[in-house]
Structure 1
Amino acid sequence: MKNKWLKRALRAVLVLAGLVLLYAALGFLALPALIKSQAQQKAADILHRQLTIEKVELNPFTLALTVHGLKMMEPQGDAVFASFDRLAVDLSGQSLLRLAPVVQEVRLSKPYVHLVRKDANHYSIDDIIELIASQPPSPEPARFSVNNIQIEEGGIAFEDKPAGSSHKIEGLKLGIPFVSSMPTDVQLFVEPLFSAVVNGAPLHLNGKLRPFADTKEVVFELKLDNLDVPRYLAYLPTKLAFRMPSGRLDAQLHASFRQPKEGGPALVLGGEAKAQSVELTQADGKPALKAKELVAKLGKIDVFGGRFDFESLIVDGLEANVVSDGKGQLNVARMFAPEQPQPLAPASTKVPAKAEKNSSGSHYALKTLEFRNTTLRYTHEAPHEPMRVAVDKFALALRDIAVETGKQTVSIGEIVSDSAGIDVNFDKPRAAAPAPQPKSAAPKDEGSYVLTIARLGIDNWTTRLVDNAHAKPLQIAVAPLSLDLQDISTAPGSRIKVDLKTTVNNDGRLALNGSFVLAPFSTELAVEVKDLGILPLQPYVTDYVNLRLVHADVSTKGKLLLETGSDGAMKGGFKGDASVTNLATVDKASSNDFLRWKALTFGGVDVRLQPFALNIDKVGLSDFFARIIIDPSGRINVQDIMRDKDGEAKSLTEADPSSHTKAKANAPKTPAVAEAKPVRKEAAQPLPPVRVGKLVLSGGRVRFTDNFIKPNYTANLNDLGGTVSGLSSDANSSANVDLRGVVNNAPLVIGGRVNPLKRDLSLDVKAEVRGIELASLSAYSDKYVGYGIEKGKMSFEVGYNIENRQLKSSNRLILEQLTFGRENSNPDVTKLPVGLAVALLSDRNGVIDINVPIGGSIDDPEFSIGGIILKIIGNAIVKTVTAPFTLISSLFGGGSAEELSMLAFDPGRAQIPAAGEEKLKPLARALGERPGLKLEITGRYDPAMDMEALKLLSIDRKLRALKAKDMQARGEVLPDSVTVKAEERLALLTRAYKEEKFDKPRNALGLQKSLPQAEMERLMLSHTKVEEEDLVALGNRRAQAAKDWLTKTGQVPAERLFIVAAKAVQKDAGGEKAQSTRVDFSLR
Structure 2
Amino acid sequence: MASLDKEKVSSTLHAIGDVARSRRAKRIGVGTLIFLVLFGLLGFFAAPPLIRHVAEQQLTLQLDRPATVRRIALNPYTLNLEAEGIHVGERGGQGEFIDIGKLTVRPSWASLFRGAPIVSEIRVDAPRFHIVRYDAQRFNFTDLIEKFSTPSKPGSKPVHFSLSNIQVNDGRVDFDDRLLNEKHVIDNWSLGIPYVATLPSKTDIFVEPKLRARIDGSPIAIDGKTKPFAQSRESEVELKFDRLDVPKLITYAPAKLPVAVRNGTLSTNLKLRFVMAGDTPALRVSGTVDLNDAKVTSASSEPLFAARGVHVAATDLQPLRSILHFDEIRVDQPVVDLARDRQGVLNVEKLAGTPAAPAAASGASAAAPAAPAAEAKAAPLDLAIRHLAIDGGTVNFDDRMPATPAALSLTRIATTLDGFTMQGRTPARYAVSTELSRGGTVKAEGTFSLAAKQADTKLTVDALALPALQPYLGEATRARVLDGTFSTTVNAKADWGKTPLDAQVADSELSLNALKIAAPDAKAPAIALSDARVKVTKVDLAARTAQVESVDANGLALDVRRLKNGAIDLAALAAPSQAAPARAVAHKGRAEPAAPSWHYEIGELNVKDAAATYTDLSTPHPVKLAFKPLQLNVRKISDDLSKPLPVQLQATLNRKGSLNVSGDVTAQPLKVGLRINGNRLDAAAFEPYFGSALNATVASALLNAQGNLAFAQVKDAIRASYRGDAALVDVRMLDKATSDPFAGWRSLALTGLKASYDEHGTDVDAARVTFSNFYGRVLLDAQGRLNLKDVVAQESGPAQSLTRDAGKGEPVPLSPQGASAPAVAQAAPAAHVAQQAPASAPAVVKAATPPAQPVRMHVGQLVLQNGRVNYTDNFIKPNYTANLVAIKGMVGGFGTESTTSAPVDVTANLSGNGPITIKGSVNPLIAKPALDLTATAHDIELTNLTPYSAKYAGYPITKGKLNVDLHYQLANDQLTANNHIFIDQLTFGEHVENDTATKLPVRLAIALLKNSRGEIDVDVPVSGSLSNPEFSVGGLIWRAVLNLIAKAVTSPFTLLAHAFGGNGEELGYVEFAPGSSQLTDASQGKLDTIAKMLADKPSIRLDLIGRVDPDKDLPGLRDAYVTRLVRQQKLKEVVGQGESVDTASVKVDPAEYHTFLTRAYKAADFKKPRNLVGLQKTLPDDDMKKALADHAPVDEGSLRTLAQQRAESVRQYLDGKVDASRMFVVAPKLDAKGIEDKGATTRVDFGLK
Band the TM-score falls in, shorter-chain normalisation: 0.5 to 0.7
Q: Distance in 2 between matches of 1:230 and 1:560?
A: 56
Match of 1:789 in 2: 957
Which residue of 473, 496, 512 maps to 2:661?
A: 512
Distance 1:113 1:540 in 2: 81
Instruction: Classify 1:641/1:294 alpha carbon distance in 2 versus 1 (closer, same or farther; 3 Å).
Output: farther
Does the residue aligned with 2:556 lie in a helix, a strand or coil?
strand
Report if aligned partners of 1:369, 1:398 keep a CA contact under 8 Å in 2: yes
1:230 match: secondary structure? strand
CA contact (8 A) 2:406 2:471 kept: no
- Contact 2:172-2:186 at 8 Å conserved across structures: no
Given that 1:490 and 1:518 are in contact with CA atoms closer than 8 Å, whether structure 2 keeps it comes out as no
Aligned partners of 2:904 and 2:920 also within 8 Å? yes
Asked if 2 retains the 8 angstrom alpha-carbon contact of 1:100 and 1:143, the reply is no
1:702 aligns with 2:874: no
| Aligned with 2:787 (options 617, 637, 645) | 637
8 A Cα contact 1:816 1:846, kept in partner: yes
- Secondary structure at 1:143 match in 2: strand
1:377 corresponds to:
518
Matched residue type, 2:563: D
CA contact (8 A) 2:949 2:955 kept: yes
Aligned residue for 1:490?
Answer: 639
In the other structure, the counterpart of 1:940 is none
Q: Give ranges in structure 1 of 5+ residues lacking alignment.
A: 1-21, 71-84, 127-137, 202-210, 279-291, 334-354, 434-442, 668-673, 869-1084
Higher RCO (Cα < 8 Å, 6 or more apart) = 1
Distance in structure 2 (CA, Å) of the matches to 1:861 and 1:51:
130
Question: What amino acid does structure 2 have at the position aligned with 1:123?
Answer: P
Asked if the contact 1:110/1:153 (under 8 Å) is kept, the reply is no
CA distance in 2, matches of 1:35, 1:727: 128
Find the residue that maps to 1:644 and give its secondary structure.
Answer: coil
Measure how far apart 1:838 and its partner are: 7.1
Q: CA deviation at 1:32?
A: 11
Report which stretch shifted further, 830-839 or 591-600.
830-839
Q: Which residue does 2:533 correspond to in 1? A: 397
Cα distance in structure 1, aligned partners of 2:660 and 2:641 = 26
Matches for 1:234-245 after TM superposition, within 5 Å: 243-245=405-407
Partner of residue 1078, structure 1: none
**Amino acid paired to 2:327:** V
Secondary structure of 2:776's aligned partner: strand
Matches within 5 A, 1:494-893: 494-565=643-714, 567-571=715-719, 573-610=721-758, 611=760, 612-646=762-796, 649-660=799-810, 678-679=844-845, 689-730=856-897, 732-745=899-912, 746-790=914-958, 792-815=960-983, 820-826=988-994, 828-830=996-998, 851-856=1019-1024
Superposed displacement of residue 388, structure 1? 10
**Cross-structure match for 2:335:** 198
Q: How does 1:45-124 map to 2 (within 5 A)?
A: 52-53=184-185, 56=188, 70=216, 86-87=218-219, 89=221, 91=223, 99-103=234-238, 107-108=242-243, 112=247, 123=258
Q: What is the match of residue 318 of structure 2?
A: 181
1:228-267 alignment runs, 5 A limit:
228-231=395-398, 233=399, 243-254=405-416
**1:468-510 deviation digits (Å, cap 9, x = unpaired):** 2334222111111111111101214222111111111111212
Write out aligned runs for 1:152-171 (5 A). 153-161=292-300, 165-167=302-304, 169-171=306-308
Amino acid of the structure 2 residue aligned with 1:216: L
Partner secondary structure for residue 283 of structure 2:
coil
Q: State the distance in 2 between where 1:826 and 1:182 align.
A: 127
Q: 1:310 to 1:455 in 2, by over 3 A?
A: farther
Alignment identity in percent? Answer: 22
Give 1:821 deviation, angstroms: 3.9
CA distance in 2, matches of 1:791, 1:316: 93
Matching of residues 90-489 of structure 1 within 5 Å: 91=223, 99-103=234-238, 107-108=242-243, 112=247, 123=258, 143-147=283-287, 149-151=288-290, 153-161=292-300, 165-167=302-304, 169-176=306-313, 178-181=315-318, 189-198=326-335, 215-218=382-385, 221-223=388-390, 225=392, 227-231=394-398, 233=399, 243-254=405-416, 271-278=431-438, 292-293=439-440, 295=442, 297=444, 305=453, 310-319=458-467, 330=477, 357-365=497-505, 367-378=508-519, 390-400=526-536, 402-429=538-565, 447-489=596-638
**Which amino acid is the alignment partner of residue 788 of structure 2?**
V
* C-alpha separation in 2, matches of 1:568 and 1:599: 38
User: How many Å separate the matches in 2 of 1:257 and 1:49?
Assistant: 49
TM-superposed CA distance for 1:330, in Å, is: 3.9
Alpha-carbon separation, structure 2, partners of 1:36 and 1:851 = 153
Which string of whole-angstrom CA distances, capped at 9 and with x for unpartnered residues, describes residues 341-387 of structure 1? xxxxxxxxxxxxxx9652244425261222211111246x9xxxx99
* Equivalent pair of 1:249/1:276 in contact (CA under 8 Å): yes
Judged with a 3 Å threshold, the aligned counterparts in structure 2 of structure 1 residues 544 and 417 are, in CA distance, closer, same or farther, namely same
Note if contact 1:809-1:855 (Cα within 8 Å) is conserved in structure 2.
Answer: yes
Distance 1:792 1:718, change over 3 A: same
Write the deviation string for residues 568-620 of structure 1: whole angstroms up to 9, x where unpaired.
32235221111111111112112121221111111111123334433211111
Letter aligned with residue 759 of structure 1: A
8 Å CA contact 1:716, 1:743 repeated in 2: yes
Question: Which one-letter code corresponds to 2:328 in the other structure?
Answer: E
- CA gap of 1:154–1:774, structure 2 versus 1, over 3 A, is same
In structure 2, how many angstroms separate the alpha carbons of the residues matched to 1:764 and 1:324? 73
TM-score, normalised on structure 1?
Answer: 0.58
Instruction: Name 2:485's counterpart in structure 1.
Output: none
**1:91–1:461 Cα change, 3 Å:** farther
Larger mean Cα displacement after TM superposition, 29-38 or 802-811: 29-38
Deviation for aligned residue 1:778: 1.8
Change over 3 Å in CA distance of 1:213–1:606 after alignment to 2? closer
Offset, 1:520:
1.5
Distance 1:115 1:677 in 2: 114
Alignment-mate amino acid for residue 489 of structure 1: S
Distance change (3 Å), C-alpha of 1:184 and 1:659: closer
In 2, Cα distance between equivalents of 1:115 and 1:424: 63
Aligned length: 739
**Cα 1:28–1:460, aligned 2, differ >3 Å: closer, same or farther?**
farther
- Say if 1:156 and 1:332 are closer, same or farther in 2 by CA, change over 3 A: farther
Shift in alpha-carbon separation, 1:272–1:789, aligned structure 2, 3 A: farther
Displacement of 1:332 in angstroms is 8.6
864 and 271 in structure 1: CA distance in 2 versus 1, 3 angstrom threshold: farther
Contact 1:592/1:653, CA 8 A, preserved across alignment:
yes
Evaluate the alpha carbon distance shift between residue 851 and residue 863 of structure 1 in structure 2; reply closer, same or farther with a 3 A threshold. Answer: closer
Deviation, structure 1 residue 140: 5.8
Matched position secondary structure for 1:604: strand
Deviation of the 1:53 alpha carbon? 3.2
Secondary structure in 2 aligned to 1:760?
coil
Q: Which amino acid aligns with 2:555?
A: S
SS in 2 for 1:778: helix
Scaled by the length of structure 2, the TM-score of the pair is 0.51
SS in 1 for 2:640: coil
Larger Rg over CA atoms: 2
Q: Is the 8 A contact 1:103 1:145 kept in 2?
A: no
Are the counterparts in 2 of residues 560 and 573 from structure 1 also a CA contact under 8 Å? yes
Q: Does the Cα contact within 8 Å between 2:768 and 2:861 map onto a contact in 1? A: yes
CA distance in 1, matches of 2:877, 2:844: 39
Q: Distance in 2 between matches of 1:302 and 1:749?
A: 97
SS in 2 for 1:628: strand
CA RMSD of superposed structures (Å): 5.2
